[in-house]
Structure 1
Amino acid sequence: MPPRLFALAPLPLILSACAPPDPAAEASRTAAAIAAAPEVTVKGPGERCINRSQLRNTVVRSERVIDFEMHGGKVYRNTLRQSCPGLNFDRAIAYETSIDQLCTQQIVYSLQNIGGVPRRGAGCSLGEFVPVEYVRKTEG
């Protein structure tokens, strides 16, 4: 009899893992991810693609927000369509593309350092590339 109890004990955990995401909780996580990133001023409408050859630096702000810093000082903030597990841990991404552009819906992968070896983690879809400018705080 005891083996049956042990076999059934994990069942609620399995079922809860398959439950659909709560939209209110997802909206709250999205707002928190955006709030955690440095304050910016939006400088124009979102764009579908950016040129990889102009990319100088990628800054992972959270599991949901990535800033793409371009040569010449332009910055694009990308809010992923969903939270990307593991992205906030090593704060690095990897992607594959055969063209010189990163575009909306492109899949990027969290890049994780496991025992000194970079490994590709979860795949996540990019959103729009919104041109922004970092807000410089003045001491008052």
Structure 2
Amino acid sequence: MRTKFLPLLVLPLAMSACSASEVADAPAPIGEKQAKQLAKELDGKTPGEPVNCITSINARDAMRISDDTLLYRVSGNLVYLNKLRSSCPGLARGDDIMVVETYSGQYCRGDFIRQVDRYSGMQGPSCSFGDFIPYRKAK
């Protein structure tokens, strides 16, 4: 008889835990320094249509703007902006090694990024890519 009522007690607890994790994953507002860096990198460039993947060979120069924003500089004329699908706490600090888990020669929407402490080797938070938005200089 008691087991019938157990799901009724567990469901509200599970729902409150989900809503608490959603709040924790909310990205912190971008700071003034980060906004200046982003503006500097995108200055004179026009956004294009978002793409799902970029070639990992061209995406070697990753810049951590905030805990949920990355820039990949391909050349002086092309930069890809990626708003991660969730916040990655501590990503902007740049202390950790950023490891991209990909199974192709591309970085794609949904691929995971893991942070690994460079001193202890312990894994930190992980997150996943969103769409890649190309920003190009006008010709």
State the identity %: 25
Whether 1:127 and 2:124 are equivalent positions in the alignment is no
AA partner of residue 86 (structure 2): Q
* CA 1:96–1:19: 2 relative to 1, 3 Å: closer
Distance (Å, rounded) in 2 between the aligned partners of 1:61 and 1:101: 21
Structure 1 residue ranges, 4+ long, deviating more than 4 angstroms after superposition: none
Q: 44, 47, 51: which is aligned to 2:48?
A: 44
* 1:80-137, Cα deviation, whole Å (9 max, x unpaired): 1111122123264111223100000111112332xx3444321101100011259xxx
Distance (Å, rounded) in 1 between the aligned partners of 2:107 and 2:31: 21
What is residue 77 of structure 1 aligned with on the other side? 81
Q: 1:15-94 to 2 correspondence within 5 Å?
A: 18=17, 20=19, 21-22=22-23, 26=26, 29=27, 32-33=29-30, 36-37=34-35, 38-39=38-39, 40=42, 41-71=45-75, 73-89=77-93, 90=95, 92-94=97-99
Whether 1:98 and 2:113 are equivalent positions in the alignment is no
Kindly state the Cα deviation for residue 43 of structure 1 after the two structures are TM-superposed: 2.3
Size of the alignment, in residue pairs? 113
Backbone CA RMSD of aligned residues = 3.1
Is the CA contact (8 Å cut-off) linking 2:101 and 2:114 kept in structure 1? no
* CA 1:68–1:34: 2 relative to 1, 3 Å: farther
TM-score by length of 1: 0.65
TM-score by length of 2: 0.65
Q: Structure 1 regions of 5+ residues with no counterpart?
A: 1-16, 135-140
AA partner of residue 18 (structure 1): A
* CA 1:83–1:75: 2 relative to 1, 3 Å: same
